[in-house]
Amino acid sequence: MGLRHAVITSVTRDDLEDGGAEHFSACIRAVQAGNPGVAVEVLVPDFWGKAAHIQTVLDAGPAVFGHNMETVERLSPKLRSGAQYGRSLNVLGTAVRNSSIPVKSGIMLGLGEEDSEIRRTMNDMLANGVSLLTIGQYLRPSAGQVAVERFVPPVEFEGWRNEALALGFRGVASSPFTRSSHKAAELLKDGCYGEK
């Protein structure tokens, strides 16, 4: 396929004792063995905050460790079944403390969050060592999911990108179409991208 950067993710695997950490590790190693030189980025669940599971993934040598905050603390219980805001921050901080690779996270806008809450979430991520940030528009996956409160205009995404860079993030992708893995190689290499 000629890939130079691959992103590996999965649904949350609460059915597995390690949350899928060993499988992430095996996938990273398999991609690296079959494709020397390919940067492997992972986007993982929270593994219930267990440091040993996070370390299992880190020990496989990914180029980027990612775990998404998804939304601000107030809205987290409404949007993230089983996940916890503080635990996600701890996952990110654990990855930072136990590796030298970039740690990445993301949030979605359009759920009714306040500007002050977005700023607090960005600062919480920075305080835990996150260096790469994605900000995208929340889209309702199905009628049974939380409804979209607002479609955020592109100019606001551009403003958030500029503010996040000014706060100290090394790389920020922010646009209505931004997703965690979209243009991941460009974000890692160039530190910024966005669509208008």
Strand (E) or helix (H) holding 109: strand 103-109
Please check whether residue 122 is in contact with residue 167, taking contact to mean a CB–CB distance below 8 angstroms: yes
Q: Model's pTM, two decimal places?
A: 0.93
What share of the chain in percent tops pLDDT 70? 96
127-171 pLDDT, tens digit each: 999 999 999 999 998 888 899 999 999 999 999 999 999 999 999
- Which amino acid appears at position 180 of this protein? S
Domain boundaries, the chain: 5-193
Q: Is the pLDDT of residue 195 over 70?
A: no
16-60 pLDDT, tens digit each: 788 899 999 999 999 999 998 999 999 999 999 999 999 999 999
Query: Which CATH code for domain 5-193?
Result: 3.20.20.70
Please check whether residue 19 is in contact with residue 45, taking contact to mean a CB–CB distance below 8 angstroms: yes
